Amino acid sequence: MATVKIGLLGFGTVGRGVYKVLQTHREKIYNTLGVEVEIGRVLVRNLEKYQKTYPELIDLFTENPEEIIDNPEIKIIVEVMGGINPALDYVLQAMKNGKSVITANKDMVAERGRELFATHEEQGVDFLFEASVAGGIPIIRTLKESLAGNSFKEVIGIINGTTNYMLTKMSLFGTPYEEVLKEAQEKGYAEADPTSDVEGLDAARKLAILASIAFNSRVTFGDVYAEGITRITPIDIQYARELGGVIKLLGIAKEDEEGIEVRVHPTIIPESHPLAAVNDVFNAIFVEGDAVGPLMFYGRGAGELPTASAVVGDIIEAVKNISHHDTGRIGCTCYLEKPVKPIGEISSKYFIRLVVEDKPGVLASVAQVFGNQSVSIASVIQKRSLEDLAELVVLTHRVKERYIRDAVSVLKGMSTVREISNVIRAEGDF
């Protein structure tokens, strides 16, 4: 076999990146594999548009997915169209036709992993998805293969570049959320509808995928508690700094004897934590293995070429497996069934910012509420803000989330408490 043909489903940013990387490294890839890798067909929505901009590919574009999925010449499908439908149907059908599938589609993997892996195993084809998490950072195969001699209790990551860029700007310049969002949109880092990034949904999908692999148990998007950065203000960031911390949107996955916890939310971490120095659009994933100890992987989590780097790494694997008659060798690793804890059952430290009446006994009564819920307070910052009101920041010790929720709900009902301005989780030692 001298040539393996791949079919591209989609020719957006990532698809074009894959085309470019395959072109640039044609020789290196041939030297690695002893086989040529060629794009055989490209599914696009608007044939005319692409035929003009990519005349060298004019014969490869098609608007008909069957010309790729049912094409016996094409051995590997690269799905970079995004969204669950119709991508899922195409990919399942392609596997049933004996083709290996590579995808960058985190929505599909995080929501429909079970069917995808079942079909992949039934058919004995490859199903690879390195690009679905943290763009160019090699993490999926690393966890599944190089680190297979470890068990993991914790995966913590900055896995959304848009919000990390925004929080970095807010931290450096004190820029408010709305303004920094506009700037991110102008730079192309945030989309016109930024919901998926700023509400933590994008990160939640990636975290579901990471947790499934780390804990050998299927975690889906719906299992992940997601809270975004829309309520973070420069004031919160300033107080966090006073406590020696920075605010990052983290994906946190942990496992203990009670089950798995998976949550995405703004988190205050100590300035000395390796993740605290990860700025701008960069991503990083921190894992702790029982043998290897702490590991951190840092790089670009998105973008045309970084994402294409991950896809092409998978293409090379899939081509090698086809030419060695060894497809399907990297299987699903979710052979256990572990429960996912509801958010009330997780434990964290909490930063609570509130506005109270500035008169004798108020601090005592606030402290009493926490005490009644068995919440132990680590530190308090009190500042006079407006006339007869004071701003109070409370940092708690580690405690179950439901106790905090109960305490906050009691506080909300108190006449001396004017506002619960924010509640932010914190990890690490302050």
Give the residue with the Cβ less far from its own copies, 253 or 316.
316
Site string for its own copies, 354-393 (x = CB under 8 A): ----------------------------------------
Per-residue CA distances from 323 to 25, 53, 124 (Å): 19, 33, 14
CB of 18 to its own copies, least distance (A): 9
Give the residue with the Cβ less far from its own copies, 309 or 373.
309
What tokens appear for 321 in the block? 């497996």
Residue 106 marked ligand-binding: yes
Touching its own copies, residues 279-308 (CB under 8 A): 289-300, 303, 305-306, 308
Q: What is the C-alpha to C-alpha distance for residues 229 and 253, in angstroms, rounded to an integer?
A: 18
Residue tagged 């702490």 (tokens):
294
Give the residue with the Cβ less far from its own copies, 117 or 239.
117
Residue 387 marked ligand-binding: no
Which of 102, 159, 269, 312 is close enough to bind its own copies by CB under 8 A? Answer: 312
Residue tagged 């970095």 (tokens):
168
The 3-state DSSP class for residue 211 equals: helix
Which of left, alpha, beta for 256 (phi over 0: left; psi -120 to 50: alpha)?
Answer: beta
Q: What is the C-alpha to C-alpha distance for residues 23 and 17, in angstroms, rounded to an integer?
A: 10
The 3-state DSSP class for residue 361 equals: coil
CB of 281 to its own copies, least distance (A): 10
Site string for its own copies, 138-157 (x = CB under 8 A): x--xx--xxxxxxx------
Asked if 169 and 284 touch (Cβ cutoff 8 Å), the reply is: no
Residue 17 makes contact with its own copies by CB under 8 A: yes
Helix (H) or strand (E) holding 43: strand 36-43
Q: What is the C-alpha to C-alpha distance for residues 300 and 134, in angstroms, rounded to an integer?
A: 7
Which of 16, 206, 254, 320 is close enough to bind its own copies by CB under 8 A? Answer: 320
CB of 139 to its own copies, least distance (A): 9
Q: Is 206 a catalytic residue?
A: yes
Q: Which one of the listed residues 206, 248, 341, 349 is annotated catalytic?
A: 206
Residue 86 makes contact with its own copies by CB under 8 A: no
- What is the total count of residues that contact its own copies (CB under 8 A)? 56
Handedness of CA 62, 65, 67, 68 (dihedral sign): positive
> Of 419, 410, 415, 412, whose CA–CA distance to 361 is shortest?
415
Report the C-alpha dihedral over residues 179, 180, 181, 185, rounded to 10 degrees: 110
Binding residues for L-homoserine: 191
Among all residues, which ones are annotated catalytic?
206
The residues of the shown chain that bind its own copies, judged by CB under 8 A, are 17, 21-22, 24-25, 28-29, 31-32, 130, 136-138, 141-142, 145-151, 216, 274, 277, 289-300, 303, 305-306, 308-313, 315-317, 320, 324-326, 329, 333, 335
